[in-house]
Amino acid sequence: MSLTVIEQHSGFEASAWDRYILDHPGASGYHLLAWRAILQQVFGHRTVYLMVRADLGEVKGVLPLVLLASRLFGRFMVSLPFFNYGGVIADSKEAEDLLLDSAVKLAREVKATHIELRHQEARAIGWSCSHRKVSMRLELPSQFEGLWTGFPSKLRSQVRRAQKVGMTVRFGGREHLEEFYTVFSRGMRDLGTPVYGKNFFEAILQTFPKESRICLLSSKGVTLAAGFLYGFRNTLEIPWASSDRRYNHLAPNMLLYNSVLEYACQEGFQLFDFGRSTPGSGTYRFKEQWGARPVPLHWYYWLRDGDEPPQLNPQNPRYSLAIKVWQKLPLALTTLVGPHIVKYLP
């Protein structure tokens, strides 16, 4: 059986691609082709989706790649940017090697300095690997009460504090986008991080109306905390969440996560993904208190010049001054300028 690498273009290849993803146990929801359209539509990046096919046309592996190119942050390829997961999916080492060789050839052609593959599991790729991040995950019981009784007493008291002040919890879709974005954009500014454009989240809600949800926490007509959810198979993930720090004394963030976990149990999800964190960080400890356990992430790098893996993240001291300045900018300005910067930050 001979294998051939092609680039996905046609509608027939699209249906074959998604069938392969839905059947492969190692695939993530972000491997689905609909995310490619979102990345192209919202960010305008060049995407190259590589597929290995056998003699009779069966798909034997795939590798989605996105090219990010700017003067400020350089020129590189990621699978996949803006999300925690991606990378190569293949049925054999031969198919995997063909995809990786094709990716390197492409990277050289477009003059990329490196390729980053975001894997959930260790692979015998032979590239440089970073284990700097972990995914914080919590196994869910069928009934939320089983979770609640296991929470630390301090955590339960913080949730009750938010409940006692009469906060309301709402789940929905596009009708909640404006309120979500108001809280999220403020939270990102306060962290010193450029924010995605509202059209990014709008595109997700439009493309995945059944798989995506927004959770809002409000009090007296003011939205205090918000989370954006994405479900795939048996896992519910919260890739983006924020709370208004001006109301931290009311603990809205605690009620937000408590409500989302209760929702996950009610909807029949078996695993909750809190997202990635750096071990020992504040976000790591926050997620850990809910019972989440760290699962090491394996991010692989092909480095054209043999350098160290890049550090395009807030922990890099190189960006400390920029973060401090950003935190002091008017919210309207960061919301306007942020999307033009963050599109190049994977």
Q: How far apart are CA 346 and CA 343, in angstroms?
A: 7
Radius of gyration of the chain (CA): 21
Q: How confident is the model at residue 316 (pLDDT cuts 50, 70, 90)?
A: confident
The CA distance from 9 to 185, in Å, is 35
The band of 11, judged by pLDDT with boundaries at 50, 70 and 90, is confident
- Give the pLDDT mean for 161-179: 95
Residues 6 or more apart whose CB falls under 8 angstroms from that of 183 comprise 223, 224, 225, 226, 242, 243, 244
More confident residue, 29 or 319: 29
Q: Are 141 and 265 spatial neighbours (Cβ–Cβ below 8 Å)? A: yes
Q: DSSP assignment, residue 245?
A: G
Domain ranges in the chain are: 4-133+298-310, 135-295
Summarize pLDDT for 253-289 with one digit per residue, the tens: 999 999 999 999 999 999 999 999 999 999 999 999 9
- 135-144 average pLDDT score: 97
State yes or no: pLDDT of 311 exceeds 90.
no
Position 1 confidence tier, pLDDT thresholds 50, 70, 90:
confident
- The CA-based angle 332-335-339, given to 5 degrees, is 155
pLDDT-based confidence at residue 319 (cuts at 50, 70, 90): confident
**Higher pLDDT, residue 72 or 334:** 334
Question: Of all residues in the chain, what percent carry a pLDDT higher than 90?
Answer: 88
What tens digit of pLDDT does each residue of 227-249 get?
Answer: 999 999 999 999 999 999 999 99
- Tokens representing residue 78 in the block: 């990621």
- The CATH number of the domain covering residues in 4-133+298-310: 3.40.630.30
Please state, as a whole number, how many other Cβ atoms lie within 10 Å of the Cβ of residue 296.
Answer: 13
pLDDT tens digits, residue range 102-123? 999 999 999 999 999 999 999 9
Alpha carbon dihedral 334, 340, 345, 346, in 10-degree steps, equals 120
What is the per-residue pLDDT for 48? 97
Indicate if the pLDDT at residue 310 is higher than 80: no
Instruction: Transcribe 256-267 into DSSP letters.
Output: HHHHHHHHHHHT
Q: At what angle do helices 198-207 and 34-43 cross, to 10 degrees?
A: 160
Judge contact between 45 and 66, C-beta under 8 A.
Answer: yes
For residue 196, the 8-state DSSP code is P
Q: What is the pLDDT of residue 93?
A: 95
Residue 314 has pLDDT above 90, yes or no: no
Query: How far apart are alpha carbons 215 and 272 in whole angstroms?
Result: 15
CA distances to 23, 73, 150, 277 from 90, in Å: 12, 30, 39, 27
In the structure, what pLDDT confidence band is assigned to residue 178 with cuts at 50, 70 and 90? very high
Does 317 or 135 have the greater pLDDT score? 135
pLDDT in tens, 28-81: 999 999 999 999 999 999 999 999 999 888 999 999 999 999 998 999 999 999
Tell me the whole-structure pTM to 2 decimals: 0.94
Average pLDDT, the chain: 94
- Short-list 119, 45, 122, 81, CA closest to 239: 81
- Enumerate the β-bridge partners of residue 223: 218
CATH topology of domain 135-295: Aminopeptidase (3.40.630)
Over residues 135-159, mean pLDDT: 96
Amino acid 276: pLDDT: 95
CB contact at 8 A, 167 and 222: no
Express each pLDDT in 192-239 by its tens digit: 999 999 999 999 999 999 999 999 999 999 999 999 999 999 999 999
At 233 the pLDDT is 96
